[in-house]
């Protein structure tokens, strides 16, 4: 590690953090006696903490974000060059990197046409919800205003996106929620709600149709789904699911919004998760991997057909999308995103994801044979989960402290892994792995070797 910070400075940093920083998703009491974790440097898939300890990061910056790895000088250069040229000018104006990145992005998304910029996954999703509500007012006589979301999916931290959270603990103490958000059942076959049947995917999709019929098709405007559920348990939808979902949306004139905040920009081995399933969405949102965390950027992408609805009557002052995002105009975002995409193409990272994802799944399946606590292994590309159960026949989940002990065990081996995000009562029992798209066979084997040791330590 080549750090400019000496040990005395680091103590000051840690004390400043302890005194003044309110960490995300954290119960702070333990920090009164234990140092908060601070990483200070990264290169490739490796990071170093304040004590100078090296870790292999199997979760791409904690929350599946740093897709092209740490320390990419060419991204830093692209951002720097743009910032000294023109760091910002927005309101209704465009920008050079904004235009070039939109063109590049759309070239990877057949059928899509327009990119609306903002700064976070939550914001990108909330833009869709606002577009749908505006379309309800202007084009459906006030109908088609309800938004369907799926149990176990997650779409963000603002109140509207929380209203669309299929993870009840996330919103438990933050109500009342905005109205008009309706839940549909999850599609995780392992915890099947429809019994042991051949056509599980179709049945799970039919459950969405039942909700549309119950609510009244005239009232439902949007179905918002993750292509592969991320923090809700790494759920790859069963065969037949997506075809049926698309069919149902078309039948009832419900727009389909795919939240690619996690899966987008290469994580699953294609540019977008939905591209594995032949889906033709009306909206796609993305954030984390778009610029791999080198700058804040998110995109709400839609079709020309929907875009045109927002310019139907230029004489009407309400006939446009009355929305703005001050820092959605920061050019560092698309400048970083353009270079991020170039790296993925030039280094053939999509192919690498497919190959390394297969290796990761295969390694996890070997661990499953060895450790009865692994009930199921699932994943797509470099996005894998291992669901831990106390008993394979009852599928009784292990406890949260046990999951945390496995994570701590991996950390002790120098590997950072994650788990379902502490928001599903009794079901936060899936280990989550999302290494950078640059992972090598040695990295993948080191990740599963650490999990092997940690599982043996915690469960014998
Ligand atoms: N959608 C999904 C699928 C996510 O996983 C997340 C974040 N974990 C979000 C949306 C929200 O993104 P952000 O935290 O950038 O607002």
- The answer on pLDDT for 207 being more than 80 is yes
Residue among 64, 163, 287 to mutate when testing ligand 1 (max atoms within 8 A of CB): 287
Give the pLDDT band of residue 329 (cuts 50, 70, 90): confident
pLDDT at site 4: 54
Q: pLDDT digits over 43-57, tens only?
A: 999 999 998 999 999
Q: Which residue has the higher pLDDT, 7 or 126?
A: 126
Cis before 49 (ω within 30): no
pLDDT at site 5: 64
Number of Cβ within a 10 Å radius of residue 9: 12
Protein fold of 37-68+348-459: 3.90.1150
Summary mean pLDDT of the chain: 96
Q: Is 126 in the pocket of ligand 1 (CB under 6 A)?
A: no
Q: Is 233 in the pocket of ligand 1 (CB under 6 A)?
A: no
The pTM of this model reads: 0.97
pLDDT at site 401: 94
What are all long-range contacts of 162-166, with beta carbons under 8 Å and residues at least 24 apart?
A: 164/125, 164/129, 164/224, 165/423, 166/232
* CATH number for domain 74-346, candidates 3.20.20.140, 3.90.110.10, 3.40.50.300, 3.40.640.10: 3.40.640.10
How far does the centroid of ligand 1 lie from the alpha carbon of residue 154, in Å? 7
54 φ/ψ angles, rounded to the nearest 5 degrees: -95, 140
Give the pLDDT band of residue 138 (cuts 50, 70, 90): very high
Give the pLDDT band of residue 62 (cuts 50, 70, 90): very high
| Residue 334 · residue 106 · CB < 8 Å | no
- The answer on pLDDT for 147 being more than 70 is yes
Residue among 117, 118, 155 to mutate when testing ligand 1 (max atoms within 8 A of CB): 155
pLDDT at site 91: 81
Percent of the chain at pLDDT exceeding 90:
92
- The answer on pLDDT for 344 being more than 90 is yes
Structural tokens at position 119: 């700064």
Average pLDDT over residues 107-128: 98
Average pLDDT over residues 37-66: 96
Q: Is 155 in the pocket of ligand 1 (CB under 6 A)?
A: yes
Domain ranges of the chain: 37-68+348-459, 74-346
pLDDT at site 8: 76
């Amino acid at each position: 590690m080549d750090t400019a910070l000496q040990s005395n400075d680091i103590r000051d940093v840690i004390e400043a953090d302890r005194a003044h920083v309110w960490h995300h998703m954290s119960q702070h009491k333990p920090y009164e006696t234990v140092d908060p974790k601070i990483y200070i440097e990264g290169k490739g898939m490796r990071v170093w903490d304040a004590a100078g300890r090296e870790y292999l990061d199997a979760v791409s910056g904690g929350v599946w974000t740093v897709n092209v790895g740490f320390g990419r000088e060419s991204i830093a250069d692209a951002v720097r060059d743009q910032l000294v040229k023109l760091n910002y000018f927005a309101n209704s104006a465009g920008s050079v990197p904004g235009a070039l990145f939109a063109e590049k992005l759309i070239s990877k998304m057949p059928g899509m046409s327009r990119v609306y910029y903002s700064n976070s996954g939550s914001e990108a999703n909330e833009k869709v919800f606002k577009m749908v509500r505006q379309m309800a007012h202007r084009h459906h006589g006030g109908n088609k205003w309800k938004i369907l979301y799926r149990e176990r999916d997650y779409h963000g931290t603002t109140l509207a996106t929380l209203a669309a959270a299929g993870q009840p603990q996330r919103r438990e103490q933050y109500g009342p929620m905005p109205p008009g958000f309706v839940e549909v059942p999850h599609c995780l076959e392992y915890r099947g709600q429809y019994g042991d049947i051949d056509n599980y995917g179709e049945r799970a999709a039919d459950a969405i149709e039942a909700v549309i019929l119950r609510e009244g098709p005239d009232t439902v405007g949007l179905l918002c789904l993750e292509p592969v559920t991320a923090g809700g348990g790494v759920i790859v939808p069963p065969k037949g699911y997506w075809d049926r979902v698309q069919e149902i949306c078309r039948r009832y004139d419900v727009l389909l919004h795919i939240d690619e905040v996690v899966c987008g920009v290469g994580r699953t081995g294609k540019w977008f998760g939905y591209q594995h399933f032949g889906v033709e969405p009306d909206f796609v949102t993305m954030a984390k991997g778009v610029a791999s965390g080198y700058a804040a950027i998110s995109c709400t992408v839609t079709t020309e057909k929907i875009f045109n609805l927002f310019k139907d009557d230029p004489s009407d002052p309400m006939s446009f999308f009355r929305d703005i995002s001050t820092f959605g105009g920061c050019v560092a975002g698309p400048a970083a995103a353009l270079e991020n995409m170039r790296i993925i193409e030039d280094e053939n990272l999509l192919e690498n994801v497919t190959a390394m994802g297969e290796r990761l799944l295969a390694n996890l399946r070997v661990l499953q044979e060895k450790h009865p606590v692994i009930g199921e292994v699932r994943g797509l590309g470099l996005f894998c989960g291992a669901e831990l159960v106390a008993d394979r026949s009852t599928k009784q989940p292990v406890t949260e402290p046990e999951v945390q002990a496995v994570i701590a065990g991996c950390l002790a081996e120098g590997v950072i892994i994650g788990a379902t995000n502490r928001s599903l009562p009794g079901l936060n029992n899936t280990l989550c792995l999302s290494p950078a798209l640059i992972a090598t066979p040695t990295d993948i084997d080191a990740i599963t070797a650490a999990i092997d040791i940690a599982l043996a330590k915690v469960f014998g």
